[in-house]
């Protein structure tokens, strides 16, 4: 009787090209607003145009680029108002979703979130940064999905794509001395959110989720030079809508000053 042959798996070529482009963007090899030319990428990577075109579509769906009719694909150059809009909506939606998720999350969903945390814990280094970004976004999406509100989940994914987290990661690539503290802190914040959900504690889940997004706001100021006053104005509006978060927000701002 013959032994069962192992199943061989192969990463689709479009995913390999996407990973290469993703890492190049985070490493700052492309500039915001720069056009990504299929021919040049195809020639440089030694692949046909089809997987390059598919990889560019993945880059667009990840929120890092946009496809312009009759022109091609270029990296996004989000304006300050666009960044502020996505930041404000993240505060509102993640806080609201966390409250619902704490009541509705299933044991299977908690297990899935913990698996993502374990995978993220192995990627807290420069080489793991592109994959860590993907896992972080998947984690946030699953938390919102656990709210049980499918429309909220769809809207949130659009908001998350609009938030320029890739620009924050690019800053870490260019300033590796900041990397360890930043991504380790982000991982701990993720752990605290999941722990609050597992404890079915709505107030703690809201608090941890909002503080996590506020931390990204601090990075927008420190890393990208966003005006602090503009972020604080948006935060003040949201804080009145989500009860139980004011102390956390005030504490973060005291630490930052």
Could you tell me which residues are beta bridge partners of residue 75?
Answer: 65
- Band (7; pLDDT cuts 50, 70, 90): very low
Q: Domains for the chain: give ranges and CATH numbers.
A: 13-75 (1.10.10.10), 80-256 (1.20.120.530)
**Opening angle at CA 21, ends 18 and 25, nearest 5:** 135
CA proximity to 192, closest of 104, 122, 102: 102
Taking the alpha carbons at both ends of the chain, their separation in whole angstroms is: 72
How far apart CA 230 and CA 83 sit, in angstroms, is 11
Could you tell me which residues are beta bridge partners of residue 123?
Answer: none
Q: What average pLDDT does the segment 135-161 reach?
A: 96
Half-sphere exposure of 60 (CA within 13 A, CB side): 14
For 74-121, what is each residue's pLDDT tens digit? 999 999 999 999 999 999 999 999 999 999 999 999 999 999 999 999
- Band (242; pLDDT cuts 50, 70, 90): low
Whether 248 has a pLDDT exceeding 80, the answer reads no
For 8-52, what is each residue's pLDDT tens digit? 346 789 999 999 999 999 988 998 899 999 999 999 999 999 999
Whether 251 has a pLDDT exceeding 90, the answer reads no
Half-sphere exposure of 138 (CA within 13 A, CB side): 15
Whether 238 has a pLDDT exceeding 90, the answer reads no
How far apart CA 174 and CA 100 sit, in angstroms, is 38
């Amino acid at each position: 009787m013959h032994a069962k042959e192992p199943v061989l798996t192969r990463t689709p070529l479009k995913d390999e090209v996407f990973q290469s482009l993703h890492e190049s963007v985070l490493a700052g090899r492309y500039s915001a607003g720069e056009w990504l030319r299929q021919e040049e990428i195809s020639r440089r990577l030694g692949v046909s145009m089809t997987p390059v075109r598919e990889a560019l579509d993945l880059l667009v769906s990840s929120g890092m680029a946009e496809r312009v009719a009759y022109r091609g694909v270029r990296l996004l150059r989000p304006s300050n108002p666009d960044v502020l809009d996505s930041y404000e909506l993240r505060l509102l939606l993640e806080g609201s979703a966390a409250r619902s998720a704490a009541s509705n999350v299933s044991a299977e969903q908690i297990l899935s979130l913990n698996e993502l945390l374990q995978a993220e814990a192995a990627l807290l280094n420069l080489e793991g940064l592109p994959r860590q970004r993907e896992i972080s976004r998947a984690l946030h999406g699953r938390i919102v999905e656990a709210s049980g509100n499918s429309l909220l989940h769809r809207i949130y994914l659009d908001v998350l794509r609009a938030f320029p987290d890739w620009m924050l990661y690019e800053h870490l690539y260019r300033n590796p001395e900041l990397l360890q503290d930043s991504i380790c802190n982000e991982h701990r914040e993720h752990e605290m959110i999941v722990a609050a959900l597992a404890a079915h504690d709505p107030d703690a889940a809201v608090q941890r989720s909002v503080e996590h997004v506020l931390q990204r706001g601090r990075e927008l100021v420190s890393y990208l030079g966003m005006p602090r006053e503009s972020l604080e104005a948006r935060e003040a509006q949201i804080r009145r809508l989500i009860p139980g978060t004011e102390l956390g927000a005030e504490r973060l701002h005291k630490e930052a000053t």
